Amino acid sequence: MEIEEGSSSKGYKKKFAGTYQKAKQRVLNKLGKRTTLTRRPKIDSLSKEFEVVIETKESLEKRLTTFQHKLNSVVACGRDLRDTYLQLWKNQVGSLVWNNEQECYERNKSPSETRLIADLERAVYEQDRTVDDAMERFHAKLTHLSESPISLDGQREIELAENVKHAKKLYKECRTNYSDSVIDSHGASSSARSKEALAKQKYDSQAEVFAQEIATFLEHYRGQLPDRLIEFFEAEDKMITAVANAHAASMSMLGSLKMDKKSAKSSQRKRYEDENEEYVEQQSPSNKNGPQSAESDRKASSSVKKQDNWDLIYGVEEVDLNQEKGSMIDLQ
């Protein structure tokens, strides 16, 4: 009777110890910690690389969306700042005169100054329209990238990723079965050891399948990632170039923002001279009377014509604003 009780007690302790060891293995695997039963450095390293790619993909999707929102905010803030500056400038255009009826000072704008403001507003409108078109195209590209940020064939990428996840699930099951069979076979019969050998075989086989699925995914990812990166840089370059060109078109009017017309005329003349300087430098005695010389003369003539138009449009021939009647503040 005592022998039976002792045997029963030993069996219970062994069963309890086995259950504890199995539970411990599961907890350690869940935490990513490997033991001698479950350690496979090559498989673990490949699995980690796959996880990093997936995590980075999810991060890219969020960052692309965030970039679009912040880009819209930057453009809006920039326009608000510019419009505030322009309004401040427009409030100062014209001669300061006293209005007896309103009993206040006001700005009396000449026809040339009124045209100047209209031209500037038109230039700003064209600039905004060009920038909006560029931003719309860039946002469309960012949205497209966010749908598949790391490969051109997003559907194929998803299929390969699902294959990896399924293979990993089976691999973890085989790993758990193997570790359990090792624990059960410790000091047990040959039947238990036979189960351990079978579990080890399935574990090794599934490890190969898992590694192959990861390799297939990484090959697809590495083959298409450069094209995605190039696509992003090209879209960004097109947007920046379009915005720069839009601003360059309105930059030509900066000289006209001067409050005295002599400075405005000087600034405008300098701009035309800079534009045509390269054509003058290209002329030489050997081809002075040739087609290139004729082209240069034509451009120089065009420059002079533009300057004459500037004088007529913006009224540079008029008296300076500060010398016009009513420009002085009379406090009497």
- Which pLDDT tens digit goes with each residue over 3-40? 444 445 544 444 444 455 555 555 555 555 555 567 78
The model's pLDDT over 271-326, given as tens digits with 9 standing for 90+, comes to 556 556 654 555 544 444 555 555 555 544 544 444 444 444 444 333 343 444 34
More confident residue, 57 or 37: 57
Q: List the single range of 42-51, 134-143, 238-247, 256-265 with lowest mean pLDDT.
A: 256-265
Distance CA 71, CA 80 (A): 14
**Average confidence (pLDDT) over 188-202:** 78
Q: List the single range of 7-16, 66-75, 128-137, 321-330 with lowest mean pLDDT.
A: 321-330
User: Closest Cα partner for 316 from 258, 273, 275?
Assistant: 258
Q: Would you state the CATH architecture of domain 18-251?
A: Up-down Bundle (1.20)
CB of 77 closer than 8 Å to CB of 218:
no
Distance CA 138, CA 154 (A): 20
At residue 23, the pLDDT reads 57
At residue 46, the pLDDT reads 95
User: Closest Cα partner for 322 from 259, 270, 247, 267?
Assistant: 259
At residue 306, the pLDDT reads 45
Distance CA 220, CA 226 (A): 11
The model's pLDDT over 211-247, given as tens digits with 9 standing for 90+, comes to 999 999 999 999 999 999 999 999 999 999 999 999 8
Structural domain boundaries in the chain: 18-251, 261-323
Q: What percent of the chain clears pLDDT 90, i.e. is strictly above it?
A: 49
